[in-house]
Structure 1
Amino acid sequence: MARIVLSLEYCGAAFEGWQTQRHGRTVQDCLTLAVDTIAGESVQLQCAGRTDTGVHAAVQIAHFDTQAERPASAWVRGVNAHLPDGVAVNWAQEVAEDFHARFSALGRRYRYVLLNRPVRSALLHGRVGWFHAPLDIDAMQAAMQYLLGEHNFSSFRAAQCQANSPVRVLREASVTQVGPWFVFDFAANAFLHHMIRNMVGALVYVGKGACSPEWLGELLAMRNRRRAPPTFMPDGLYLSGVEYPDRWNLPDGGRIIAPLFLPSGL
């Protein structure tokens, strides 16, 4: 029995998230079917981070166990031949049996790409978020400082979140602007369900002048999701990196951070 780890990317616009569903319209469902075809047997896939409906992955890590003996090229080109256009495996590698795509990860990174102009984008529909009113980057940058560190993130946790604890360590939080584009980057040991989309929604409230930067710290301390703004759209959210200990000898020393598509050369 061999344990194989895959690195893949996908556009989430055509899928109802990662997690398998009876109707089969998820990334896990189509990837499992493709891997089963190459392996000649049924496999069980585990991933580094479950993404929601409409959320993308510039890099997702998954593993499975198989009795099939195949070269790495079969797990890449062979599997890709059976995948829809919106999903692609980038590399495959055999790892020790105690590796786990989710539980071996030290941290995860997400990026949210937001278009800020009066008119939504037609060409990038489903690929970027959008907000019509002007945003103040200085106010949002000041507000993000309240999110850094170890906190109870209940104010940004979805009601259906299944995590045992709402406490997370947010190691990085930044926002940059180039023209009408705002790019939010977050890195943490792990994230709660809808946590990033809820934080982006709150930051947009600050950016449009509805709330002060200090309000974000107050909202965090409230630990009450009902006091926070609505969950922001999934379109601009990308899983952009997963980090593992060096002992696994994964590409880039386990710090797997994908070059991410950014509009207009950003």
Structure 2
Amino acid sequence: MSDEAAPGFVRVRLDLSYDGKDFSGWAKQRERRTVQGELESALGTVTRSSETPDLTVAGRTDAGVHARGQVAHVDLPEELWAEHRDKLLRRLAGRLPHDVRVWRVAAAPPGFNARFSAIWRRYAYRVVDHPGGVDPLLRGHVLWHDWPLDVDAMNAASAPLLGEHDFAAYCKRRDGATTIRTLQKLSWERGADGVITATVRADAFCHNMVRSLVGALLFTGDGHRPVDWPGKVLAAGVRDSAVHVVRPHGLTLEEVGYPADELLAARNKESRNKRSLPGAGCC
């Protein structure tokens, strides 16, 4: 996976969002509907390309997970980009299904790689503990937890998880893939509407990491486990049967962070040194 487009090609950055409900995740799968599949098909159609464009994404989301701030790149022939650049956004809007939208297309700076250039990904997980359930208008994006939640307790339990750790206890293991990650932020806040939002930011995530962390912290918030329990699970380094992977519909990829253009090459090298194998789906 090169950090530069091949001669005669232009690397194009796409900023997009999607409702994950009816997708089997980001990555292409035979006979399953995916975000990547829909986007590549639409790009090929509107550009009348003889070859299917190949997208690289910042974070491959799992089935049912949403995205508001996803980033991808694609390398297009120079003549094709010159012909379609001013019309591409509108044409994609006319071709794509209503549950995926591209909001911006632009030539990427030299060295840009949607995956390896990223310095962090920020997710939000939303949950309500109202005894009546979830607002029907939010049901596709908010989890209902049927026990009262103590946000202060969840924030206290989150603090020991911050920093660089081996998150094997909170990840679904994949052969050859590291589970060492740097968790930069994990905080909980109850909004005026009663929706409790977990903000989770890290340099990268391993498979099921966010949803496992949320599952453990909800058990702390509702009193089923003590505040120090999530930290003890992390330190043990093995999966605990009490840690549940919560449902995907409460999870949204909100934003991907990148360094200044002049730092892209250094960041790409650093990312590859840390994780030479694919990081799998998220989260």
TM norm. shorter chain > 0.5: yes
Q: TM-score, normalised to structure 1's length?
A: 0.89
1:148-187 equivalences in 2 (<5 Å) = 148-159=162-173, 161=174, 164-179=177-192, 180-187=194-201
Pairing 1:223–2:231 present = no
Code of the residue aligned with 1:124 in structure 2: it is L
Equivalents in 2 of 1:163, 1:72: separation in Å?
40
SS where residue 4 of structure 1 aligns? strand
Match of 2:202 among 175, 188, 193: 188
Q: Could you tell me which residue of structure 2 aligns to residue 66 of structure 1?
A: 76
Residue 213 of structure 2 corresponds to: 199
Preserved contact between residue 107 and residue 242 of structure 1 (Cα < 8 Å): yes
Aligned to 1:90: 103
Secondary structure at 1:235's aligned position in 2?
helix
1:114 and 2:124 matched: no
Q: Does the Cα contact within 8 Å between 1:109 and 1:241 map onto a contact in 2?
A: yes
Given candidates 207, 230, 246, the residue that maps to 1:232 is 246
Unaligned 5+ segments in structure 1 are 251-266
| 1:105 counterpart residue number | 118
C-alpha distance in 2, partners of 1:92/1:231? 34
CA distance in 2, matches of 1:119, 1:53: 27
Q: How many residues align?
A: 249
What do residues 113-168 of structure 1 show as CA deviations (whole Å, max 9, x unaligned)? 11212233333222211101101111101000011001010111014x46721110
**Candidates 40, 51, 55, aligned match of 2:65:** 55
Q: Which residue number in structure 1 is paired with residue 151 of structure 2?
A: 137
- Contact 2:109-2:261 within 8 A present in 1 as well: no
CA contact (8 A) 2:47 2:84 kept: no
For residue 89 of structure 1, report the CA deviation from its aligned partner.
0.4
Query: Is the contact made by 1:2 and 1:97 (CA closer than 8 Å) also made in structure 2?
Result: no
Give every structure 1 segment of 4 or more consecutive aligned residues whose post-TM-superposition deviation is greater than 3 Å: 70-73
The residue that corresponds to 2:37 in the other structure is 29
Q: Distance in 2 between matches of 1:162 and 1:144?
A: 28
Q: Distance in 1 between matches of 2:245 and 2:221?
A: 16
Per the alignment, residue 54 of structure 2 pairs with 44
CA-to-partner distance for each residue in 1:168-201, whole Å, 9 max, x for gaps?
Answer: 0011111001253110001110001110000000
Measured in 1, the distance between the counterparts of 2:160 and 2:34 equals 35
Pair 1:216–1:31, CA change in 2 (3 A): same
1:157–1:75 Cα change, 3 Å: same
Match of 2:279 in 1: none
* Cα RMSD, aligned residues only: 1.8
Partner amino acid, structure 1, of 2:227? P
Aligned-partner Cα distance in 1 for 2:262–2:69? 17
Q: Identity percentage over the alignment? A: 38
1:232-253 deviation line (CA, Å, top 9, x unaligned): 0111100011111111799xxx
Q: Deviations over 1:187-232 (max 9, x none)?
A: 1100011100000000000001011111111010011113441110
SS of 2:21's equivalent in the other structure is: helix
Superposition deviation, residue 75 in structure 1: 2.6
CA offsets, 1:52-94, max 9 Å, x none? 1110001110111111133434231111211111110010111
> 2:121 and 2:221 mapped to 1: Cα distance?
25
Find the aligned partners of 1:178 and 1:125 in 2 and give their Cα distance: 16
| Residue identity opposite 1:15 in structure 2 | F
Tell me which amino acid in the other structure corresponds to 2:203.
Answer: N
Measure, in 2, the Cα distance between the counterparts of 1:5 and 1:168: 26
Unaligned runs of 5+ in 2: 1-8, 265-283
Question: Are the equivalent residues in 2 in contact too, given 1:219–1:227 (CA < 8 A)?
Answer: no
| Secondary structure of residue in 2 paired with 1:145 | helix
Matched residue type, 1:241: E
